[in-house]
Chains A and B, each alone.
Chain A
Amino acid sequence: MPIIATQGLTMRFPRVTALDDLSVAVEPGVVGLVGANGAGKSTLIKILLGLLPPSTGTASVLGMDIAREGVKIRESVGFMPEYECLPPDVSATEFVVHMARMCGLPPTAARERAADTLRHVGLYEERYRPIGGYSTGMRQRVKLAQALVHDPKLVFLDEPTNGLDPAGRDEMLDLIRRIGAEFGISVLVTSHLLGELERVCDHVVIIDGGRLLRSQAVEAYTTESGVLTVEVDEGRDALHRVLHEHGAAVRAEGRFLVVDIAGESTYDLVRDGVAELGLRLIRMEQRRHHIEEVFQETPAAPGPPGANVPNLPQGAPR
């Protein structure tokens, strides 16, 4: 059963269409929702929480209809907003306990779950101090803890890595991975950075201007492409020439040569060429796609065919 399914979801505001006929279904696991700022990610989350009725279309979360079963959905999901949402004058413990009780957890359970959850997100002694004195990284952890404290089946994490330094970002991404893998809680995580989602997600949904661009498993984005990257110590240009003479489609890209794979013979060709020239071969690998390439392709999609070809970034898979 899909954890989230939308059919023809459209959200129009007076000045802007935030979501435009979005139909997508995702299975349990860690799901990334990617889009530029203003692509409609936060609006989609509010609709899925049952807080904002869509203009048209329907959606279900954990098999429950957003229009009729909003309260039941909100009992079984957690939400971490992208903005600051913490009162500065209470301690993390006090705050998370309160939020647990707001989900209906009895007092003792609320305290135990709050302590457990804060430990899982990596807040220890400092959880007794008022939140006002916390660093951004610690605040993000408290925000995450309040979303997890009632043991939801699904959490919506809106831009959880926003404002974090690289180390904090890595830790947050590890945590998200653990929430999906160890805690067994499905995650919908939004970001405008594809690279980080590539690391933690099983499935990535890309929206742009409120429209679905693509929804598929991460592996599908990063399948092997039909090009070979070749790196030699020196003599790149010589090798380029030799390969070209033997009829391979080859082009230089930075320190590398990129060779289109025509078949098994291409590998032999590179090997022979390198041997012939007596070069030192450092690397020869089949290149994988990056999720980012989806965005690099997108300007091409709506335009007339052919008009966009010169703009293709180097190395884009074809």
Chain B
Amino acid sequence: MSTSTIHDIGYRHYDGRRNGRAYVLRSLYVHSLRAAFGLGRPARAKVMPFILAAIMMLPAAGSVAVFAVTKEEDVLMRYSSYAPTLQVIIAIFLATQAPVLASRELRFHVVPLYFSRPVGHLDFVLAKIAAMTSALFALIAVPVTVLYVGGLVTKVPHSADQLGRYLAALVGCALFALVLAAIGMVVAAFTPRRGFGVAAVIAVFMLSSTLVLVVQGIAESETNFTLSGWAGLFAPFNLVDTVQVRLLNAEKSSVQVAPGLKGGVVALAMCAAIVFGSVAVLYRRFRKAGLS
């Protein structure tokens, strides 16, 4: 005789609370953010994001450690240069995780299940982009914070300056995260097969930065630094770095950035165009998928 039995108490109706749009949006955002780090999914989905996050931490931890021993201020990385220096790692993270958020549900036709519920198309896109942006922000800003806090603990001189630069760098991190997420999500949304998605995102970053470097190389050898700076706007990392340098008082980490305040404003406008364009494109993409 088994001691435990399952009692079928029949179907029960639900007459509890039903939350509104803000709750649904928040739930989708949290779900997507968790998915970006493989949480709530099998162990192998967690491997890549966490390895990459660990790699991102290494330079910050290393440079604090070296500073603690040598007390040489030069060995501490600049906060604003963190993302451009580690752009390969960030691009790989984006390439592996953007398809998880943008194309997995397209590929397996899950999207119509959202839109047959009280989930709006725009809400869906905004939650997804916000989740990818937050994931990237965490990836970049956590090591930068380690760098800052580590510096404080090991008594870096000019701590007031440090705070200013740190806060400016956080704004830069947020802009990096937003622009990169926007680009990565669009590319991934149009390459439903995950493998292709990863390759496509990598390709976009590699090609843009390589082409820009070639143009900049030629321009610099002709000593045309203005052209070199403007050309930099066409590589995502260089673009955001331009905003950091021209509008956030950072030192440049790229080969060259567009000159003057004008360069910074143009770069910021381009960032905004990329983000809004991406929202518009994703909106259309998912809307169409919701009807298939």
Contact (A146, B113) CB under 8 Å given A75-B18, A104-B20: yes
On whether the beta carbons of B14 and A113 are closer than 8 Å, the reply is yes
CB contacts under 8 Å to B, within A90-124, are 90, 94, 98-99, 101-106, 109, 113, 116, 119-120
How many residues does chain B have at the interface if contact means C-beta atoms less than 8 Å apart?
Answer: 36
On whether the beta carbons of A85 and B10 are closer than 8 Å, the reply is no
* Cβ of A281 under 8 Å from chain B: no
Chain A hits for B204, CB < 8 A: none
On whether the beta carbons of B11 and A74 are closer than 8 Å, the reply is no
Interface-centre pick from A75, A89, A113 (highest chain B CB count, 10 A)? A89
Docked pose: A120 CA to B41 CA in angstroms: 25
Docked pose: A182 CA to B6 CA in angstroms: 19
* Cβ of B116 under 8 Å from chain A: yes
User: What sequence of 0s and 1s flags, for each residue 259-271 of chain A, a beta carbon within 8 Å of any chain B beta carbon?
Assistant: 0000000000000
Q: Which residue of B lies closest to A117 (CB)?
A: B11
On whether the beta carbons of A49 and B116 are closer than 8 Å, the reply is yes
Q: Which residue of A lies closest to B15 (CB)?
A: A151
How many residues does chain A have at the interface if contact means C-beta atoms less than 8 Å apart?
Answer: 39
Contact (A89, B119) CB under 8 Å given A52-B291, A102-B27: no
* Cβ of B158 under 8 Å from chain A: no
* Cβ of B104 under 8 Å from chain A: yes
Least distance between B259 CB and chain A CB atoms (Å): 48
Interface SS of chain B: loop
Least distance between B126 CB and chain A CB atoms (Å): 15
* Cβ of A226 under 8 Å from chain B: no
A75 interface neighbour in B6, B108, B113, B118, Cβ under 8 Å: B118
Chain A hits for B45, CB < 8 A: 89
- Which stretch of A76-84, A209-217, A307-315 is in the interface? A76-84
B14 interface neighbour in A52, A88, A101, A105, Cβ under 8 Å: A105
Q: Which residue of A lies closest to B121 (CB)?
A: A51
* Cβ of B280 under 8 Å from chain A: no
User: What sequence of 0s and 1s flags, for each residue 9-47 of chain B, a beta carbon within 8 Å of any chain A beta carbon?
Assistant: 011111011111001100110010000000011100100
Docked pose: A113 CA to B119 CA in angstroms: 19
Contact (A51, B116) CB under 8 Å given A102-B28, A106-B16: yes
Q: Which residue of A lies closest to B20 (CB)?
A: A104
On whether the beta carbons of A89 and B42 are closer than 8 Å, the reply is yes
Q: Which residue of B lies closest to A98 (CB)?
A: B31
Q: Which residue of B lies closest to A99 (CB)?
A: B113
On whether the beta carbons of A90 and B28 are closer than 8 Å, the reply is no
Contact (A102, B104) CB under 8 Å given A86-B110, A151-B14: no
On whether the beta carbons of A74 and B16 are closer than 8 Å, the reply is no
Q: Which residue of A lies closest to B18 (CB)?
A: A104
Chain B hits for A88, CB < 8 A: 108
Docked pose: A71 CA to B115 CA in angstroms: 9
On whether the beta carbons of A184 and B13 are closer than 8 Å, the reply is yes
* Cβ of A38 under 8 Å from chain B: no
Chain B hits for A127, CB < 8 A: none
Docked pose: A214 CA to B148 CA in angstroms: 74
B112 interface neighbour in A85, A105, A150, Cβ under 8 Å: A85
Chain B hits for A120, CB < 8 A: 11
* Cβ of B290 under 8 Å from chain A: yes
* Cβ of A87 under 8 Å from chain B: yes
Docked pose: A99 CA to B113 CA in angstroms: 8
Contact (A84, B109) CB under 8 Å given A99-B117, A150-B14: yes
Q: Which residue of A lies closest to B12 (CB)?
A: A116
Least distance between B64 CB and chain A CB atoms (Å): 37
Q: Which residue of B lies closest to A73 (CB)?
A: B118
On whether the beta carbons of B291 and A51 are closer than 8 Å, the reply is yes
* Cβ of A130 under 8 Å from chain B: yes
Chain B hits for A52, CB < 8 A: 291
Chain A hits for B31, CB < 8 A: 98, 101
Chain B hits for A84, CB < 8 A: 108-109
Least distance between A78 CB and chain B CB atoms (Å): 8
CB contacts under 8 Å to A, within B59-118, are 104-105, 108-110, 112-118
Interface-centre pick from A102, A105, A150, A182 (highest chain B CB count, 10 A)? A102
On whether the beta carbons of A81 and B112 are closer than 8 Å, the reply is yes
4 other contacts beyond A98-B27, A102-B113, with CB at 8 A cut-off?
Answer: A89-B41, A89-B42, A102-B27, A109-B17
Nearest first, the 8 A-B pairs at minimum CB distance are A151-B14, A79-B116, A101-B27, A104-B18, A183-B11, A104-B19, A85-B109, A75-B118
Interface residues of B (CB under 8 A from A): 6, 10-14, 16-20, 23-24, 27-28, 31, 40-42, 45, 104-105, 108-110, 112-120, 290-291
Pick 6 A–B contacts, CB within 8 A, sort by A. A85-B110, A87-B104, A89-B45, A99-B117, A101-B31, A151-B13
